[in-house]
Amino acid sequence: MLSQRLIGRAAVRSAFKPSGLPVVVSPRLRRTYATESEEKDLVIIGGGVAGYVAAIKAGQEGLKVACIEKRGTLGGTCLNVGCIPSKSLLNNSHLYHQILHDSKHRGIEVGDVKLNLAQLMKAKEQSVSGLTKGVEFLLKKNGVEYIKGAGAFADEHTINVKLNDGGETSVKGKNILIATGSEVTPFPGLEIDEKRVISSTGAIALEKVPEKMLVIGGGIIGLEMASVWSRLGAQVTVIEFLDQIGGPGMDLEVAKSIQKILKKQGINFKTGTKVVSGDKTGETVKLEVDSAKGGKPETLEGDVVLVAIGRRPYTEGLGLENIGLEKDERGRVIIDSEYRTKIPHIRCVGDVTFGPMLAHKAEEEAVAVVEYIKKGYGHVNYGCIPSVMYTFPEVAWVGQSEQELKKAGVPYRVGTFPFSANSRAKTNLDTEGMVKMIADPETDRILGVHIIGPNAGEMIAEGTLALEYGASSEDIARTCHAHPTLAEAFKEAAMATHSKAIHF
């Protein structure tokens, strides 16, 4: 992935051509946040995860910083309508489902159990509200000027801002960081209204549980939202164009395993299936689907259709054309290995440029870009960025998958350990899943770690650390793990990679 990011430094310098465009700001409407004589060390467009982390880090480094965000609350998609609210719903829907279906055999007799969807949503909103206010406090604490409005380039050092209160202002920066994030990729011919045809934003805000839900896309977002509404009582069918769920980054063995588990939980799957068209004019939304496996085309109906086919970089209204900044064929802002655009003092991080669209990847880039500005060096290891799917059980991975290594012709060996043989998992009656470790057969160095199981999202941190520091499977196998813990499965998988597991 890093190779995709590289543009020669010489090419970057030769591409620098000041546009000389004038700053156009109405004197009548101007609200002055920063006086025209004051130039910020860093102006950040976007207050999402990448933007606010860069702002805090730059403030800590003593830079004069302004952060522009039009949403009105900080945290971007992740905090407001993505990672955070969805995890609230995933956690609480799991508790509801567990009480209904998994408490009796644990010795817990429960009476009349009712779903209060309004309260479920209120708990979600309280989580979001507390965290967004916390981020705003951190910006203030670190001396960051927070400007609520939509920013656009006037010239290479000036950002015009249409303020949320109706006014306008402008702010100048020695350095400018684009961190505008991403938006939902729409499905052609099926307009998202967030009522019957919804995006992930609508999926966390439904006012009632649909009887039938269709999910277009079997990636992480689609499967997480499918899990929420299936647990709450909807009949859910996931339609995925590829032959596997979870996206191409998920290890194929893991993907097959989690699909079986989710199917047991009540989610229906149609993999290798293309959605040809959609129609929402009737009482239900109808999708025409066609199987790539040669089956007959069919019509599926749902009260609600979730479009979860991915996200795309968001640059609308940013004024990139005013300064001649380039995007690639997928709409990503083109940068070099130091996050510079072709105009060296304008940099870009997060979803709006290359790499996986993950909040923690954006955070790492945000810190690195400030270090480049302040110190002249920074670092992100793109081979050590974990991914997590917060279904139950969770799925997490870092490094390379078995199919990636096969395709590249890289030799490897595999060690696995099932949670059914782990004492803590057996005690907790949560035994589905496994830890899968992939290592180099000569050096024993870890190449990838893949986990399905309870708390996989927490456990993957150990794999990420091992990969970052070049650990071998023997290193992990010889590291003492507390007993009884789920993490012992991690140690046992390492032992299985290196020699033999003890308890399986």
> Is 363 known as a binding-site position?
no
> Is 157 known as a binding-site position?
no
Task: Phi first, then psi: give them for residue 292, nearest 5 degrees.
Answer: -75, -10
Return the number of other C-beta atoms located less than 10 Å from residue 195's C-beta: 11
- Residues listed for the chain: 504
Could you tell me which residues are beta bridge partners of residue 153?
Answer: 159
> Is 105 known as a binding-site position?
no
> Is 357 known as a binding-site position?
yes
> Is 223 known as a binding-site position?
yes
CA–CA distances in Å: residue 253 to residues 109, 258, 286, 433: 37, 9, 32, 11
Calculate the dihedral angle through the C-alpha atoms of 253, 219, 392, 485, rounding to the nearest 10 degrees.
Answer: 60
Radius of gyration for the chain, computed over Cα atoms and rounded to the nearest angstrom = 24
> Is 358 known as a binding-site position?
yes
> Is 182 known as a binding-site position?
yes
Task: Phi first, then psi: give them for residue 397, nearest 5 degrees.
Answer: -155, 160
> Is 87 known as a binding-site position?
yes
Could you tell me which residues are beta bridge partners of residue 311?
Answer: 184
> Which of 391, 384, 499 lies closest to 448 in space, CA to CA?
384
d(CA 342, CA 316): 19
d(CA 403, CA 95): 35
d(CA 489, CA 503): 9
d(CA 128, CA 76): 11
**β-strands 212-216, 304-307: how paired?**
parallel
> Is 167 known as a binding-site position?
no
The encoded tokens of residue 260 equal: 């079986």
The single residue listed with the structure tokens 């620098």 is 16
The encoded tokens of residue 193 equal: 């209204």
The encoded tokens of residue 242 equal: 């590829």
Return the number of other C-beta atoms located less than 10 Å from residue 10's C-beta: 8
d(CA 392, CA 101): 14
Across 314-464, the runs of DSSP E, i.e. the strands, are: 346-348, 387-389, 394-399, 413-418, 434-439, 446-453
Q: Coil, helix or strand for 17? A: coil
Cβ atoms of residues 179 and 350 within 8 Å: yes
Identify whether 483 is a catalytic site residue: yes
> Is 359 known as a binding-site position?
yes
Q: Coil, helix or strand for 59? A: helix
Catalytic-role residue among 94, 345, 481, 483: 483
> Is 317 known as a binding-site position?
no
201-46-63 Cα angle (round to 5)? 150
d(CA 349, CA 15): 20
Residues of the chain by 3-state class (helix, strand, coil), percent to 5: 35, 25, 40
> Is 108 known as a binding-site position?
no
> Is 151 known as a binding-site position?
yes
> Is 221 known as a binding-site position?
yes
> Is 240 known as a binding-site position?
yes
> Is 498 known as a binding-site position?
no
Calculate the dihedral angle through the C-alpha atoms of 388, 394, 400, 401, rounding to the nearest 10 degrees.
Answer: -140
Q: Residues within the annotated binding site? A: 87, 151, 180-182, 217-224, 240, 310, 351, 357-360
Active site residues: 483
Q: Residues within the annotated binding site for NAD(+)? A: 217-224, 240, 310
Q: Residues within the annotated binding site for FAD? A: 87, 151, 180-182, 351, 357-360
